[in-house]
Amino acid sequence: MFSFMEMLKSLAPFFTAAVVIVLSPFVKERIPYAVSNYLVSTFNMWLARFCTPHITVVIEEKGELKSNQIYEAAKAHLHTLISDSTKPKRFKVSKEDRQTESTIDIIKDVEVIDYFREIKLKWKLRTEKEEYRYSPTKKYFELSFDKGYEMDVLDSYLDDIVDRYERIQKEDKVVRIYTCKEKNRDRVVYPEKDRDRNVNWSYVNLEHSATIEKLAMNPEQKEMLKDDLDRFLGGKDLYNKVGKSWKRGYLLYGPPGTGKSSLIAAMANYVKFNIYDLNLTAGLSNEDLRSILLSTTDRSILVIEDVDCCTKFYDKEKKHYTFTQSGLLNIMDGLWSSCGDERIIVFTTNHKDQLDPALLRPGRMDVHVHMSYCTMDGFKILASNYLNIEADHQLYRQIEGLLENVEVTPAEIAEELLKSGGTDVVLGGLVKFLEQKTLQKAKAAELKELLKSDDNTDVDVEGFVKFLKQEKLKNAKAAEAEQLLKIDHTYVDVDVDVEGLVKLFKQKKLEDAKAAETVQVNIQKNQN
């Protein structure tokens, strides 16, 4: 049965037409034009007020400074709605690698119908190009419903969508990794009021199976890290009580290949936080850093890798886009850092000693995690992961002795364990690899001792050996280097002729001295 109001709404167009047809001759003959025009306008306003059936609510993608949570919740709700119920007339389907099922989603300007307490709700996704050429496209939802249901929709329907979205995010969260799309600031200048709205993140699902338990780290170190993360997750009341921002800073430091990136992925999988990967070398200003911080969501990990390299970009010649150290410190523990909850900031570096002490203090980098070369404990974890070895193996004692005398990263060990063959074959190959590394270390030490006899020979021995190994006779001087190197094609390792290398260094030094003397003589001749 139709209600009286529904009947009135349906008859409103016909009623308007009838009134106009009947009264038009009378109005024209008896009432002046100005008065009749006013009456018609007033009548139309009354009709629009009481007979227009719908109210439309606009839900923008971004707020003034941060993302709009209602928009994200509505997006997830509509995705579920069209996947589980009747499809709209037009929708899009996509499927990425590793996805088991296709993804169905809405497209712009297509109406999607939903019902709540017998209220019919109409959703539409709209897009609008901003005034500035390189600014991102503005997105928003339009939600339309009948008048009289404003309280039901705003106080119950939307709240229910947001609550369900938050619950799903916590219980069954797919971890994502975000990267910030660079803005072309050389060709466009954004107005100050729009700067914080123009951070544009793209993401993929984090398909990384790393867990803290599987990492080649000291067991006590892993337990410490998990305990610290657990205390942070449950520390909301404590942080509020002491008046601190609910955030935590971690510094992961150590040589390349020791598992810093894997640890970040393991931390994200453990706490179920999204990762925001921030590249500080991309010409960012202090304002950009602030905007990026505000555009990240709560319950997220902000990653700044190789922070020691980033500090080298404090260049006065790049005044326009280069951030300052104070700008970096401000996002770590300044006033702007308090705009958000449950945030983790992770820094990585290969050279902790090169960092400014101001970056290292508690409140900025609260926990320092040393990622060391592979130990026997770490090796056993790798052997369990790659070879399914749970008990001790007959080669373990020999491997342990070699690991104590050589610096090898977990990444190098993992590469050896990936080679084909049975367990005995793979571990035997690892023993040969470690023995070769030990021999290289001994050769380098012998070379250093020989060079000590000549105080004027200043050379980075290890660097030179690595250079010869990497080049592998690639350039025009390869023939000379070939006489000094004997390459084992099985392991691609370098056996250095120490005495020949010393002679080469001294000969090169003599040539440089003669060249410098010749240049000095020519300068004196020109002066005379």
Write down the domain spans for the chain: 4-52, 55-172, 180-184+192-370, 376-506
Cβ proximity of 297 and 327 under 8 Å: no
* Mean pLDDT, range 265-270, rounded to an integer: 95
Q: What is the DSSP string of 313-382?
A: G--TT-TTT---HHHHHHHHHSGGGGSSSSEEEEEEES-GGGS-HHHHSTTTS-EEEE--S--HHHHHHH
Whether residue 347 has pLDDT greater than 70: yes
138 DSSP β-pair partners: 128
Per-residue CA distances from 3 to 9, 12, 46, 108, 514 (Å): 10, 14, 20, 33, 106
Rounded Cα distance between 338 and 200, Å, is: 22
For the chain, give the mean pLDDT.
Answer: 76
The CATH number that domain 180-184+192-370 falls under is 3.40.50.300
Q: How many CA atoms lie within 13 A of 72 on its CB side?
A: 13
What 8-state DSSP symbol labels residue 186?
A: T
Per-residue pLDDT at 333 exceeds 80? no
Q: Which one has a higher pLDDT value, 46 or 371?
A: 371
pLDDT for the residue numbered 514: 74
Query: Mean per-residue pLDDT for 89-118?
Result: 78
Helices 498-527 and 423-451: crossing angle, nearest 10°?
Answer: 40
- Only one residue has tokens 């996947």, namely 83
Residue 528 has a pLDDT of: 58
290 burial level (CB within 10 Å; 0-12, 13-18, 19+): buried
Higher pLDDT residue, 294 or 246?
A: 246
The separation between CA 129 and the C-alpha centre of its own chain, rounded to angstroms, equals 26
Of 300, 293, 307, nearest to 275 by C-alpha is: 300
At 254 the pLDDT is 93
What tens digit of pLDDT does each residue of 1-39 get? 445 545 555 555 545 545 554 555 655 566 676 666 676
380 pLDDT above the threshold of 80: yes
191 pLDDT exceeds 60? Answer: no
Best-predicted range by mean pLDDT (73-77, 118-122, 407-411) = 407-411
Higher-pLDDT residue of 382 and 171 is: 382
| 488: confidence class by pLDDT, cuts 50, 70, 90 | very low
Q: Which of these ranges, 139-148, 234-243, 480-489, has the smallest mean pLDDT? A: 480-489
pLDDT reading at 501 higher than 70: no
Query: What's the confidence (pLDDT) of residue 467?
Result: 58
Mean pLDDT, range 426-435, rounded to an integer: 92
Q: What pTM does this model have?
A: 0.69
Strands of the sheet containing 274-277, edge to edge, are: 200-205, 176-181, 274-277, 300-304, 343-349, 247-253, 367-370
What is d(CA 60, CA 142) in angstroms, rounded to the nearest whole number? 9
Tell me which of 472 and 193 has the higher pLDDT: 472
Residue 179: name the closest of 196, 199, 198, 201 by CA.
201
Task: Please give the single-letter amino acid code of residue 52.
Answer: T
What span, in angstroms and rounded, lies between the C-alpha atoms of 267 and 208? 11
Strand partners, 250: 346, 367
CB atoms within 10 A of CB 444: 16
Residues 280-318 have pLDDT tens digits of 776 677 777 888 888 888 889 999 988 887 655 544 455
Q: How many CA within 13 A on the CB side of residue 277?
A: 15
